Structure 1
């Protein structure tokens, strides 16, 4: 069972980060040149929001908690109160995860739908997306640290 939970965690992390990387590196440079770029970003964003934010982030949280409990053999609350290197790194990862959830909801459901209203909102939406990608990469780094005991 723990293999399935880890598998789901890796798949949804890949969808989350991979989707953001695809949009930043492949889609955005091309679409930004088109006259209907905002409409395209909004349509792609709606679809990605369902998979990434609405489904993906809750699955990542649940599977992440289950993975941590499985790896340490500790109850989750006890783990959060622990001073083990693993627990410290896990708490850092959870803080960044909470931040990414807040930014994703802000980006996907508040800023994104309003991006066509002004250049300022469009720029803020883009900046929030880039910040969220950077935070996602930090989370991946912390996940790698956790695989090595949190050190």
Structure 2
């Protein structure tokens, strides 16, 4: 067990760092982190997440490739190779599909939610501004009429 951990320490380290940065990105996205929520910070965190994920998957694929090479002369290595290849494919493909679908669904839902909220806010602010302008126009008209009335009264 310790030999396995010692050999795969870098993979575990990259995994923990990637998971931590992903969690930090999530906290920043919901504005609960010590990092300010702005476009630049979010972009840096997302780029860092992608780079760490690429490094993580590269190391995993390299380890799988080296384990396939090392077992060439061992009896039953063909079956072992097939098991490793099938396990890798059948765990990677669904997880990538689920991640892509979740990202698309989250993006679409967030866009629709914010689109509705922003449209409502813009329409409400437009109505508010229009009512404010009408109120001020009516106030000015009444003031002009009162001034005209006072001038006519003083003239006569």
Would you call these one fold, judging by a TM-score over 0.5? Answer: no
Instruction: Please classify the TM superposition score into its range, dividing by the shorter chain length.
Output: 0.3 to 0.5
TM-score in terms of structure 2 length: 0.42
